[in-house]
Homo-oligomer: A and B are copies of this chain.
Amino acid sequence: MRVDLRRLPSPDDLLILLTVARLGRFNAVAETLGTTHTTISRRILALDKQLGGRTLERSPHGWELTQLGASAVTAAETIEETLGSLSGLIRQDQHALSGLVRISTSDGFGSEFVTPALVRLQRQHPLLNVEMLSATRKVSQNRSGVDLEIVVGRTDVSNAQTIFLSNYYLRLYASPAYAGEFGLPETLDGVGQHCFVSYVESALQVAELGHRWSAQLPMPKSSFQATSVFAQVEAVRRGAGIGLLPNFMVAGTPEFVPVLPDDFQRQLPIWAVARPESLRSAPVQAVIASLKEEVRSRQELLAG
């Protein structure tokens, strides 16, 4: 039934009348609703005008409903019940996270940051299912099948929202054994005389991750190329050469020594990217919040 909403009695005023009917005194109602008796008095007066009659009459023990008031209170009870059910629904949605969230992420950052963040969230919400798709890829244009993408580098997308998570650094590293056997270069040009460990350039989707990204790094004498950052880290650890690696994966361990740390580093941003409709999902929002918390609390590792 469609009615002219401008002509209806105020539902807020009806709810106030309901509280007056329950408590019997304006002061009690004001206290309960966190307002003043004067406001209550005025709202009842306004309601009486809207309804065209008196809703309350004085009695020795406070206010009592007129016949008109009783009809109004019946309507108010229905409204209260309806609003209460709606609130209950929302509160349920917010607290009991469930369903499936699919996340695409690079394997380095994914295993180091995304995995612990998701594990922590799933411990809080056992009904939440998580799928983590590891791929070092450029941000996709449509993200079908994926709720959230964790991407590196620039993000030129027009129909999605990007949420900055953190910066991290690619730096040159070698193993102590390699350094001891072959020495380390004194300048960046000297890097060309060494074996280089890197991504497979022809298969690389994020150019910033490759050694060709800037003219600073010369063509290597020989190279060890792998599509997995874990393989690269392992290759460097085993003395295959100098590698351009994410700092957060090797920094501070004695198995890796920095190469020309004052001369070269590359800063890369990491983003979470999602469609607007995905961002309205409480689980997705919870994942984002958990990721933010993870990078926030481990900022030293990312900056190191």
Contacts and interface: CB of A to CB of B under 8 A. Distances in A.
A203 interface: no
Interface string A64-77: 00111001101100
B66 A3 contact: no
Given A1-B81, A75-B83, A11 B12 contact: yes
B5 A87 contact: no
A79 interface: yes
Contacts of A81: 1
A76 to B, nearest CB: 9
A84 interface: yes
Interface of A: 1-3, 5-12, 14-15, 19, 22, 32-34, 51-54, 57, 66-68, 71-72, 74-75, 78-87, 89-90, 93-94, 276-277, 280, 282
Given A2-B22, A75-B85, 9 more contacts: A11-B15, A53-B282, A54-B280, A66-B277, A68-B90, A71-B86, A71-B90, A78-B79, A78-B82
A84 B8 contact: yes
A145 B171 CA distance: 100
19 contacts: A1-B84, A2-B80, A3-B80, A5-B15, A5-B32, A8-B83, A8-B84, A8-B87, A9-B86, A9-B87, A11-B12, A14-B83, A66-B277, A68-B280, A71-B89, A75-B82, A75-B83, A78-B79, A79-B83
Given A19-B5, A68-B90, A79 B82 contact: yes
Nearest to A87: B8
A80 B280 contact: no
A79 B80 contact: no
Contacts of A93: 68
A89 B51 CA distance: 10
